[in-house]
Amino acid sequence: MKHDGPYTSGVPKLWNATIDAHRNAVREAVLDAAAALVTERGLAAVTMSQIAESSGIGRATLYKYFPDVESILRAWHERQVGAHLAALEQVRASSAAPGAALSSVLHAYGFICHARHGGALAAMLHSDDGLAEAHRRLRDMVTELVAAAASAGEVRGDVPAAELADFCLHALEAARVLESKAAVARLVAVTTAALQPTT
Amino acid sequence: MKHDGPYTSGVPKLWNATIDAHRNAVREAVLDAAAALVTERGLAAVTMSQIAESSGIGRATLYKYFPDVESILRAWHERQVGAHLAALEQVRASSAAPGAALSSVLHAYGFICHARHGGALAAMLHSDDGLAEAHRRLRDMVTELVAAAASAGEVRGDVPAAELADFCLHALEAARVLESKAAVARLVAVTTAALQPTT
C-alpha cells in the first residue's frame, strides 16, 4: 500500500492496523470526497486528480482503487442505497404490528426520496444495473410487509402484495419533486389510503 | 434536396409536392427506421449508415437532417411523447364529468407506461431536458382534471391538486414493471382508490 506523502498528513485514520481496514478507510474517504466535490462543482467538472487531492491520497493510489470517476460515483451511490436499506430495516424492526411497520417504512422511504430531491447524480445512476440488486431488496422488504399486513386484514387483499409494493415505491418517488415536508407527509398518507381494505 | 438514387425506389411518398411536406416525410421515415433498428439490434449497435439505408435515403442526406444517432433517437422520443399527450387529450375530451375524465386519463396513461415496458431507449432518454416540457404538459393536464374532480366532490380536497397529480403520474409508472394487462388495471384501480374523498 503506497501513499504519496503530501496528502496523507490530514487523514491519520487511514493508517489503520490491518490492510483490510485501511483499504476500507481509503475507499470511504474517496467516496466522501467524490460526493462532496460533485455536490459542490457539478458532475461534469469533477476529475480523478481532484478526488485524489480532496480525499488525501495520491493520484496513483486512487487508480489502484477505482478506474474512473464514474465507478467512484457508482460505488458512492451503492453505499447510499445500502445505508437507506439499513435505515428502513431498523424502522421496520421497531414496529411489531404489520400494518404499523408498513406505514412506518413507507413514511421513512418517502422522506428518503424527498432528501434525494433534485439529485442529478441519483438520476444519472438511476437506470444503472448495479442498483438492480438494492432495488430488489427494497421491493422484497415492502412486499413482505404488505403481505403480512394483508394477512392481518390491515391492507387490501384483492391485489397481489408485490404489485402493491411496486405501486408504493413508485408513488413515493414523487417525494423527489415535492417542495415541503408537509407535502411529503400528505403523499405518504395518500399512498397509504390506496392500501386500505376495500369494503 | 438531393437524393441518392438506389435507396429512394422503395419510398415514393418521399417525393411530395412541397419541400416542407417532403422534409417532414423524410424526417418521419428516419425516425421510424431508427426506432425499428434500435428495437431489433439494440441501442449500441445502430449507426447513421444503417439508419440511412433503412429509411431509403443517402447517408449525406441523413446528415442534413440529423448530426448523430442520439439526436435522431431524441427526436423519435419527442414524437412518441407528443403522440401520447395527444392520445390522452382525446381520452380526456371523451368524458364530460370531471371524475370520469380523470379516471379515463389515468387508465390510458397506465397502459401507455405499460407499453413502454422494458424500454431501454426511454430509460436512457428519461432524464433528458427535452422531455421536461412534455412532462410539464402532462402534469398540467392531470392537475386540471384533479382540480375539476375535487371541485365536483369526486376527488379528495384535502391535498393540493398538483400533489395528487404527481402522485398519480409516479404511481402509474409502476406499470412499466408489471407483466400483465390485468395487473395494470389493478394498478390503476389502486391509484384511483387513493384519490377518493376522505369521509
Q: Determine the pLDDT at residue A105.
A: 93
A199 within a domain of the structure (yes/no): no
User: Bigger pLDDT: A186 or A17?
Assistant: A186
Q: Does A171 lie in the same domain as A98?
A: yes
Q: Does B97 lie in the same domain as B51?
A: no
A23 within a domain of the structure (yes/no): yes
Q: Does A50 lie in the same domain as A15?
A: yes
DSSP class of residue B12 equals G
Assign residue B23 the CATH number of its domain: 1.10.10.60
* Domain limit, last residue, from B67, B84, B118: B67
Nearest CB to A186; choose among B163, B169, B195: B163
Q: Does B134 lie in the same domain as B55?
A: no
Question: What residues of B are in contact with residue A150 (Cβ under 8 Å)?
Answer: none
Question: What chain A residue is nearest to B120 in terms of C-alpha separation?
Answer: A127
pLDDT, one tens digit per residue, over B115-167 is 875 455 555 555 455 566 777 888 999 999 999 999 999 999 999 999 999 99
Q: Does A47 lie in the same domain as A138?
A: no
Question: What chain B residue is nearest to A191 in terms of C-alpha separation?
Answer: B194
Number of domains in chain B: 2
B39 within a domain of the structure (yes/no): yes
Lowest mean pLDDT, pick from A127-131, A142-146, A168-172, B38-42: A127-131
Nearest CB to A163; choose among B124, B187, B194: B187
Q: Is the Cβ pair B174, A167 closer than 8 Å?
A: yes
A198 within a domain of the structure (yes/no): no
The half-sphere exposure of A177 on its side-chain side, counting CA atoms within 13 A, is: 19
Lowest mean pLDDT, pick from A15-24, A48-57, A68-77: A15-24
Assign residue B104 the CATH number of its domain: 1.10.357.10
pLDDT, one tens digit per residue, over B16-37 is 567 778 888 899 999 999 988 8
Count helices and strands in chain A by DSSP H and E runs: 10, 0
* Domain limit, last residue, from A17, A50, A67: A67
User: How many residues are present in chain B?
Assistant: 199
A148 within a domain of the structure (yes/no): yes
Q: Does A115 lie in the same domain as A87?
A: yes
A108 within a domain of the structure (yes/no): yes
A91 within a domain of the structure (yes/no): yes
Question: What chain A residue is nearest to B156 in terms of C-alpha separation?
Answer: A190
pLDDT, one tens digit per residue, over A97-125 is 889 999 999 999 999 888 875 455 555 55
Q: Does A59 lie in the same domain as A10?
A: yes
- C-alpha distances in angstroms, A25 versus A48, A52, A105? 18, 14, 31
Q: Does B125 lie in the same domain as B152?
A: yes
Q: Does A25 lie in the same domain as A47?
A: yes
Task: Report whether A134 contacts A82 (CB < 8 A).
Answer: yes
- Average of per-residue pLDDT values in chain A: 84
pLDDT above 90 (res A158): yes
Candidates B123, B120, B189; CA nearest to A163 is B189
Q: Nearest C-alpha of chain B: how many angstroms from A47?
A: 23
Nearest CB to A190; choose among B124, B159, B173: B159
Q: Which residue has the cell 379516471?
A: B103
| Residue range(s) defining the domain that contains residue A9 | 5-67
* Domain limit, last residue, from A49, A67, A85: A67
Q: Does A168 lie in the same domain as A148?
A: yes
Q: Does B62 lie in the same domain as B149?
A: no
ipTM above 0.85, yes or no: no
User: Bigger pLDDT: B58 or B126?
Assistant: B58
- C-alpha distances in angstroms, B76 versus A42, A105, B37, B38? 29, 39, 12, 11
Q: Nearest C-alpha of chain A: how many angstroms from B153?
A: 17
User: Bigger pLDDT: A88 or B19?
Assistant: A88
Q: Does B124 lie in the same domain as B26?
A: no
pLDDT, one tens digit per residue, over B160-177 is 999 999 999 999 999 988
B198 within a domain of the structure (yes/no): no
Nearest CB to A127; choose among B123, B169, B187: B123
Interface of B with A (CB under 8 A): 123-124, 126-127, 156, 158-160, 163-164, 166-167, 169-174, 177-178, 183, 186-187, 189-191, 193-196, 198
